A and B are shown apart, each in its own frame.
Chain A
Amino acid sequence: QTFSLPDLPYDYGALEPAISGEIMQLHHQKHHQTYITNYNKALEQLNDAIEKGDSAAVVKLQSAIKFNGGGHVNHSIFWKNLAPVREGGGELPHGSLGWAIDADFGSLEKLIQLMNAEGAALRGSGWVWLALDKELKKLVVETTANQDPLVTKGPTLVPLLGIDVWEHAYYLQYKNVRPDYLKNIWKVMNWKYASEVYAKECPSS
């Protein structure tokens, strides 16, 4: 199976002024596409290696799969995490997710503060996540380095929202001021998507 670049559910410029069209286009057409291209290549090499029984090669390919497959997984979620304002971006979470946020963090403001703090403190490249621990039925904030998917932090973690804090996600617009990017991204956060995922994992509330 080969993977291909999922379409963005909105125009490149639709998230402005929170995230510039220039960034969205580069991020989607170049960065995400490159992860997919390299992921497909790594998978092809992996299949070869498996067929040949070349275990050393199989092991050697793991990091390329993690980097590029992780990049594909994470960015596919990311595009759905964002929405133009006119399509509900930034609208506060209602229903069961809203209550869970209050229960587990005290308030939405506190959650946002926590995620922004974790995102700003993350050194180098990575992601900050709002996650559901589906075993404990609890919301948690987690970070992952580079393109490690959330599941590397715990097999029971389901991503509800992820914020890409690689510099490519904000540099052209915000330069070194990552905290401003974090502040503004909430204006286009797609809480509807997060609520749907949450409701599916936790149908009774």
Chain B
Amino acid sequence: MVPAAATAASLNCALFHRQGGLNRATRGLQWTKKQQCTRKPGPAIITAKFELKPPPYPLNALEPHMSKDTLEYHWGKHHRAYVDNLNKQIVGTELDSMPLEDVVIVTYNKGDMLPAFNNAAQAWNHEFFWGCMKPGGGGKPSGELLQLIERDFGSFEKFVEEFKSAAATQFGSGWAWLVYKANRLDVENAVNPRPLEEDKKLVVVKSSNAVNPLVWDYSPLLTIDVWEHAYYLDFQNRRPDYISTFMEKLVSWEAASARLEVAKAQAAEREKEQRKRDEAEDIQGSEAVEMYVDGETEDSGAD
């Protein structure tokens, strides 16, 4: 999640990273000072330390489905420790001036995780998680999100089944996610020649420990924390009951819909940028050909 004030510039940063594999002009996901300078101008990024933001509701607001005790420990101890420890790890480094999403992607380091990844990813995951729930949550999504769910899973019920199964079968610690996948072709260097709305797909994925779908270039819409600390005080070993309660009483479909809008906008922006780059390269290419043809005379332009 990105602080509102930093949205424009940080979206671009994240885009820059994620396009590393697809963009023929960029070489991979290297974060250098040079790339930082090419960000579009926008509101200043909040440098300094990451903050532990409270959930968007009081700690007792999810009772009786998720107890105040759980929130006090889960947010007040676990989440707080990830943020505090992350700040200690990155203070004075280049990571200190980046939005959290970028720190996650940079420290994931294509799977060869750097030391700060665990705290960065868990800080991001938990902030995202609180936003996925609300008092009086549950029910069904509506509008476009529901449409896409029905299109990509067959029905809302089938989606719920798949999501619950992913959450229940994530062995050990981890997360289950509903994500928006912007490109059907996820092979590096493959360019989708006809970006169509239908290529943007919803999928359910699960991840272990701190890993989240940002590192796979997906846009998370919804998550459930299935580390035992997330449910043990309220449900002990009964993870399936916790998952059902989450779906029936806690999930905020408004939040998921809002994220879908952002994800679609990001995907559209990327395609625009990609088309511009492709056009620029094509023009360059054709100029080069012309110069070669006129190469007989030394001074093709002058007379």
Q: Are B236 and A167 in contact (CB under 8 A)?
A: no
Q: Which residues of the partner chain B approach A145 to less than 8 Å between Cβ atoms?
A: 172
Q: Are B232 and A171 in contact (CB under 8 A)?
A: yes
Residue-wise interface mask of A (144-171) relative to B, using a CB-CB cutoff of 8 A (1 in contact, 0 not): 0111000000000000000000111001
Tell me which of A26, A67, A123, A176 contacts B237 (CB under 8 A).
Answer: A26
Nearest to B237 among chain A residues (CB) is A30
Q: Are A125 and B237 in contact (CB under 8 A)?
A: no
Count residues on chain A whose CB falls below 8 Å from chain B CBs: 20
In the assembled complex, A37 has its CB within 8 A of some CB on chain B = no
- Known contacts A124-B209, A175-B73, A176-B77; A167 and B172 CB within 8 A of each other: no
Cα(A171)–Cα(B173), bound, Å: 14
From residue A117, how far is it (CB to closest CB) to chain B in Å?
A: 16
Nearest to B78 among chain A residues (CB) is A176
Q: How large is the interface on B (under 10, 10 to 19, 20 to 34, 35 or more residues)?
A: 10 to 19
Q: Are B118 and A123 in contact (CB under 8 A)?
A: yes
Q: Are B73 and A176 in contact (CB under 8 A)?
A: yes
Q: Are B210 and A175 in contact (CB under 8 A)?
A: no
From residue B227, how far is it (CB to closest CB) to chain A in Å?
A: 7
In the assembled complex, A31 has its CB within 8 A of some CB on chain B = yes
In the assembled complex, A172 has its CB within 8 A of some CB on chain B = yes
Cα(A39)–Cα(B233), bound, Å: 26
Q: Which residues of the partner chain A approach B233 to less than 8 Å between Cβ atoms?
A: 171-172
Q: Are B237 and A31 in contact (CB under 8 A)?
A: yes
- Known contacts A30-B237, A123-B210, A175-B73; A146 and B171 CB within 8 A of each other: yes
From residue A20, how far is it (CB to closest CB) to chain B in Å?
A: 13
In the assembled complex, B81 has its CB within 8 A of some CB on chain A = yes
In the assembled complex, B229 has its CB within 8 A of some CB on chain A = yes
Nearest to A125 among chain B residues (CB) is B172
In the assembled complex, A34 has its CB within 8 A of some CB on chain B = yes
Within 8 A of B (CB), among A40-71: 63, 67
From residue B229, how far is it (CB to closest CB) to chain A in Å?
A: 5
- Known contacts A123-B118, A124-B174; A167 and B77 CB within 8 A of each other: no
Within 8 A of A (CB), among B173-219: 173-174, 208-210
Cα(A34)–Cα(B173), bound, Å: 17
Within 8 A of B (CB), among A124-149: 124-126, 145-147
In the assembled complex, B228 has its CB within 8 A of some CB on chain A = yes
Nearest to B118 among chain A residues (CB) is A123
Q: Are B209 and A123 in contact (CB under 8 A)?
A: yes
Q: Are A167 and B237 in contact (CB under 8 A)?
A: no
- Known contacts A34-B237, A123-B118, A125-B172; A167 and B232 CB within 8 A of each other: yes
Q: Which residues of the partner chain A approach B174 to less than 8 Å between Cβ atoms?
A: 124
Cα(A67)–Cα(B174), bound, Å: 15
Cα(A199)–Cα(B121), bound, Å: 45
Cα(A166)–Cα(B239), bound, Å: 14
From residue B136, how far is it (CB to closest CB) to chain A in Å?
A: 28
Residue-wise interface mask of A (66-99) relative to B, using a CB-CB cutoff of 8 A (1 in contact, 0 not): 0100000000000000000000000000000000
From residue B86, how far is it (CB to closest CB) to chain A in Å?
A: 14
Q: Are B208 and A124 in contact (CB under 8 A)?
A: yes
From residue B148, how far is it (CB to closest CB) to chain A in Å?
A: 29
Cα(A63)–Cα(B171), bound, Å: 10
From residue A105, how far is it (CB to closest CB) to chain B in Å?
A: 26
Cα(A166)–Cα(B227), bound, Å: 9
Cα(A49)–Cα(B27), bound, Å: 46
Residue-wise interface mask of A (15-35) relative to B, using a CB-CB cutoff of 8 A (1 in contact, 0 not): 000000000001000110010
- Known contacts A125-B172, A176-B81; A26 and B236 CB within 8 A of each other: yes
Q: Are A30 and B118 in contact (CB under 8 A)?
A: no
Q: A123-B210, A124-B227 are in contact. List 6 more A-B contacts (CB 8 A).
A: A124-B208, A145-B172, A171-B232, A171-B233, A175-B77, A176-B81
Instruction: Show the binding face of B for A, using Cβ within 8 Å.
Output: 73, 77-78, 81, 118, 171-174, 208-210, 227-229, 232-233, 236-237
Closest 4 CB pairs of A and B: A167-B228, A124-B173, A124-B209, A146-B172
Q: Can you report 17 A-B residue pairs in the complex whose CB atoms are below 8 A from each other?
A: A31-B237, A123-B209, A123-B210, A124-B209, A124-B227, A125-B172, A125-B173, A125-B228, A146-B171, A147-B171, A147-B172, A166-B172, A166-B228, A167-B228, A168-B228, A172-B232, A176-B229
